[in-house]
Chain A
Amino acid sequence: MQEPPGAVTGWLIAWSGGDDSALQHLMPVVHAELRRLARREMRRERPGHTLQTTALVNEAYMRLVDLGGVSWNDRAHFFAMSARLMRRILVDHARSRLYLKRGGGAKVVSLDDGLAVANDPRSPNLVALDDALEALAKLDERKSQVVELRFFGGLSVEDTAAALHVSPSTVLRDWRLAKSWLLKELDARGHDGR
């Protein structure tokens, strides 16, 4: 499904404004983008190795969103929204799969042609993480945001700092504590960090 340029931004804005139905339009587009990235990923000799670069993530989002339509002042907001979007998509997907995965230890069953995440032994249990992150947000919203931006959004420390209007060293301190706290929380809930 090809979206006209600018349409995605519209859906993003609508969604961030509280319109949940906009998510329906956004998900297939994001999926397509992820698949495109995956194909390119597969052409590398060491898959998964370099996907952390901000450039790559930025590129993905820039393709999704016609940034010309978003004013500079909104860039931070844009990043925050994108990260939140990614979180929603991945976690919702993980929750629905969890529902299916009653048998435990089942191999990946993707509901749609795509986001088979949670069976990667190296990736954290997204559902548990999401819950823990919600709990963290109640104590300290900024730390939760840092995690959302960095982990779900893939943002660098600098970009995170810019998005949150704080210094990079603050971001690093927040990041450190947040990770410790989340690990502790996940442990307490009976999940390890994986």
Chain B
Amino acid sequence: MADERFRLVEQLYHDALDLPAAERPHWLASACGADDALRREVEALLHYDTADGDFLERSALSTAVAALARDHRDRQVGRRLGSYEVLAFLGAGGMGDVYRARDVRLRREVALKVFEHAASLEPINRIEAEARAASVLNHPNIVTVYGVGEDGDTAYIAMELVHGRSLRDLLSEAPLPEPQALDIAVQLAEAVSAAHACGIVHRDLKPENVMVSPEGRVKVLDFGIATQPHEYRPGDEAAAERVETRGALVGTVGYMSPEQARERGAVPASDQFALAIICHEMLTGKRLFARATAQETLDAIASDDEVPSLELGSRLAPLEAVLARCLAKDPARRYGDSAQLARALRGVKRDLEHVDVLEGPTRRRLMSLGAFAALGALTAGAAWQLWPRPTPRRSLAVLPFGNPAGDENTEYLCDGITETLIRQLAEQPSVRVMARATSFAFKGRREDPRTVGRRLGVDATLSGEVTRRAGRVLVSAELVETATGVRLWGADFDRPAGDVLDVQHEIAGAILGAGHLGPAGQQRRSTLGPTDDPAAFELFLQAVHHLRLATEEDYLAARDLLVRAVDRDPRFALALVTLASTYSVMTMDGYAAPADAWRQADLYVARALEVDADLADAHAEAASAAFFYRWDWREAERRWTAALRLRNEVQSELLTAYSLQKWALGQTRAALELAQAARTVDPLSAQASLREADLLSALGRLEEAAGAYERVIGDEPGDPRAYFGLAELRRKQGRIGEAIDVRRRAHATLGDDSLDPLFARARGAAGYGEIVRASARRELEQLARREASGGYVSPLDFARAFAQLGDADRAFGYLSAALEERAAGVVLLRVDPAWDAVRDDARFTAAVARVGFPWSAVG
């Protein structure tokens, strides 16, 4: 193409760019006329115009130098420095590069900070002195210094190698969740406090210097090595954040204290200042004094103005108070003793946790093994998901109140009371109340409430009578549990005639307030129950209500409530046993480490039996401990038998728990009988139905099992466990298309759409396998997230997820740990479908043998 032509192309190119994109093709066509080649040439250039924003924008020089730097670092690998062998480059530290290295004598990995050309940059003596100072510090939250050395003109410091991410890294994504931020703040304060006790001030505390391990452990770097020279070039912002040592100024500008900004030297309280800024940044994502330039930032810090408002919200006011004190301009007004600061932060954290427990989001653990929850989700695909707080809807019929005297004037009262009660109770989301028409169908018929209840299919019936007498009105009412006939609540009211309408409010209030429509099967020996302290009983009922919801937050809430209950009444045996049961269910669901939880459970069981040696529930709890923790199945068997014998009205939870043991021992038929008995006793119990369904499936009675799962789905469409069970069943039947569809519904009930694309294209057994693996991966993500935020995660949960992913090595690695700590689910290895893929593995056989249960050949 000739020169002139290129001019033309150029002209057209720029003219076209001046037009809006939409108009360009048309304009170009007319401008080029018949010259198609010209048009194509310009079009091509226009196409490449938007193609690559980065192209050539970084100069060759930059690239060359960066490559040189990288090259240099790569070439350090394998280099020996003293007794250390360099393994890999980790990152650029303040003055030198940090590498991962191996101490060839001690055979451990360390972090090595290497200072090249040290002679020209910084006296080696100084580096040594700093390292020596830092090596004094020995604290779990401070990176330990191992040693220092030199090799030619290279100096190095060997330190503890920390696995994890820097706080800067974590913050670059988003502010941290509050519990994590507080946890880190407390650990930071403890690190700082320990250093101050040794007379060492950090002077350069900032997120880059704070490492957080995957377990959530904080390690602070660069204590005492914070005085580093660094070239500060005006206009060069990256370096401007650090300042030369020629003055007394050290430290990164954004976290510097006023006294440092004014070059008056750092004191321990200077670290407190930085800590407060870091804490604020963790919670809000914002840097408190950040301005456009380094100089302005320093000015803002050093200014005489009051501490800026932290804007953490009213809930965090106690924390704000602590931080505000740390941010006082005058160091003398901060905490005199950093240990005090650490204590203050711990206190704030503890208080906030308690509040959180009762208000936090709900997390339902589907892989529940506990006495209060079914093993329904042992079937493939447990999911650690958020799902909406299930509304525990108990059903109730208010039967028309009777008028035994047959008094006409009283009739309206009866109807009025009945209708008001229906209306009031129907407003409660936790109750499903039979419609007025249904109830009134029974008007005037004197039938046993239990019979009516069964006919209507309700959990309980509320009925009563009204009688007039001498200007007063007598109302009696009682709440009867349909399944057992137990009188859950009853009361008599004697009021002046005018007050009668208030009575109905009282009745409704009494029923709802005391949680009578919560748990089924509460055995009562008196109107108040197994304690004489109404407040304690109140606490107990609330706790039981929480336990039903089966989320971690609820378990913790229940625990706290029960502790208070038994504090009030140390002889409240039922509360003691329920407390034991709370601990056991927490570890069975994987929220608490077994050793701690079972120890607590044992303590409370013992106390309960001291008060009442015949308390069936206590024996049942003892059975659980024997079975799930000590693997003493014989003892467990003895205890179960005792428990069943002691109780006249058998609780369904007891039966489902016992059925679990039977199943684990291979006595599948016996387990099924127990589950079915549980269902008879408590027809609405999803747990019993799920257990039954699982067992039917295990026995090969697939259609019956399907029916059972479908029934649960019908009753509790929001409960994902039945879907997982049904899906697995369909897969067993070879009805893969249905299996996939049911799995999809399961995830839909969980509100989880992350697997939707997979569901759209999954086909056949391979597709189902993919879905299982994807779910397992999700599970792992959630587990890892929980672990990262400091929560306990049972190794068994990891093991099961990896097993479903097909990663046998990791699965068995974790299983080993699970066996070590006796995670509750290991007793179920043989029946847990999560292990199906690896049952033939020798390691699996070994694990089962280690638990050592007999396996019934008969089933």
The residues of A with any CB-CB pair to B shorter than 8 Å are 34-35, 37-53, 55, 57, 60, 86-87, 90, 108, 110, 114-117, 119-120, 122-124, 126, 139-140, 147, 150-154, 173, 176-177, 179-184, 187, 193
Contacts and interface: CB of A to CB of B under 8 A. Distances in A.
A47 B68 contact: no
In this complex, which of B59, B231, B235 has the most chain A Cβ atoms within 10 angstroms of its Cβ?
B59
Interface string B67-81: 111111110000000
Contact of B63 (A45, A110, A117, A183): A117
A133 B63 CA distance: 18
B819 interface: no
B62 A52 contact: yes
B65 A34 contact: yes
Given A39-B116, A43-B95, A184-B44, A52 B69 contact: no
Contact of B66 (A87, A90, A120, A154): A120
Given A115-B68, A119-B67, A180-B46, A52 B239 contact: no
Contacts of A46: 92, 238
B6 interface: yes
27 contacts: A34-B64, A39-B117, A41-B65, A41-B69, A42-B97, A42-B116, A43-B94, A47-B70, A51-B61, A53-B236, A57-B59, A86-B61, A114-B71, A115-B68, A117-B60, A117-B64, A122-B54, A122-B63, A123-B58, A139-B3, A152-B59, A152-B60, A177-B14, A180-B13, A180-B49, A184-B45, A187-B48
B42 to A, nearest CB: 10
Contact of A115 (B59, B64, B92, B97): B64
B56 interface: yes
Interface in B26-47: 44-47
B567 interface: no
Nearest to B44: A184
Contacts of A150: 56, 59
A153 B51 CA distance: 24
A46 B238 CA distance: 8
Given A38-B68, A38-B72, A139-B1, A52 B238 contact: no
Contacts of A44: 92, 238-239
Nearest to A48: B66
B111 to A, nearest CB: 16
Interface string B8-34: 001001100100000000000000000
A121 B837 CA distance: 42
Contacts of A40: 231
A178 to B, nearest CB: 8
Nearest to B228: A43
Nearest to B46: A180
Given A51-B59, A123-B58, 14 more contacts: A34-B65, A42-B69, A43-B230, A49-B238, A51-B66, A86-B60, A87-B60, A116-B71, A117-B60, A117-B67, A122-B63, A123-B63, A154-B61, A181-B45
B231 to A, nearest CB: 7
Interface string B288-327: 0000000000000000000000000000000000000000
Interface string B436-448: 0000000000000
Given A45-B92, A48-B66, A124 B10 contact: no
Contact of B92 (A43, A51, A110, A180): A43
Contacts of A181: 45, 48
Interface residues of B, number: 52
B408 interface: no
Contacts of A120: 63, 66-67, 70
A150 B62 CA distance: 12
Nearest to B56: A151
Contacts of B56: 124, 147, 150-151, 179, 182
Contact of B55 (A43, A57, A153, A183): A183
Contacts of B52: 179, 183, 193
A38 B65 contact: yes
A57 B60 CA distance: 11
B695 to A, nearest CB: 58
A55 B68 contact: no
A7 B3 CA distance: 40
Nearest to B64: A117
A36 to B, nearest CB: 9
Contact of A126 (B60, B68, B69, B72): B60
B94 to A, nearest CB: 8
Contacts of A48: 62, 65-66, 69
B499 interface: no
Interface string B628-669: 000000000000000000000000000000000000000000
B704 interface: no
Contact of A122 (B10, B44, B49, B58): B58
Contacts of A51: 58-59, 61-62, 65-66
A27 to B, nearest CB: 13
Nearest to B41: A184
In this complex, which of A45, A90, A140 has the most chain B Cβ atoms within 10 angstroms of its Cβ?
A45
A139 B5 CA distance: 9
A182 B44 CA distance: 11
A183 B3 contact: no
Given A50-B237, A139-B6, A42 B59 contact: no
B494 interface: no
Contacts of A139: 1, 3, 6
A117 B70 CA distance: 10
B208 interface: yes
B242 to A, nearest CB: 9
Contact of B238 (A45, A153, A183): A45
Contacts of A108: 67, 71, 74
A141 to B, nearest CB: 10
Nearest to A87: B60
A117 B65 CA distance: 8
Contacts of B235: 53, 55
A34 B55 contact: no
Given A38-B65, A41-B69, A117-B67, A50 B236 contact: yes
Nearest to A187: B48
Contacts of B51: 180, 183, 193
A183 B237 CA distance: 32
Nearest to B234: A55
Contacts of B44: 184
In this complex, which of A42, A116, A126, A182 has the most chain B Cβ atoms within 10 angstroms of its Cβ?
A42
Nearest 3 CB-CB pairs, A to B? Answer: A154-B59, A38-B68, A48-B66
A107 B68 CA distance: 14
A86 B64 CA distance: 10
Contacts of B237: 50
A123 B61 CA distance: 11
A110 B49 contact: no
In this complex, which of A52, A86, A180 has the most chain B Cβ atoms within 10 angstroms of its Cβ?
A180
A52 B58 contact: yes
Contacts of B96: 43
B55 A124 contact: yes
B208 A45 contact: yes
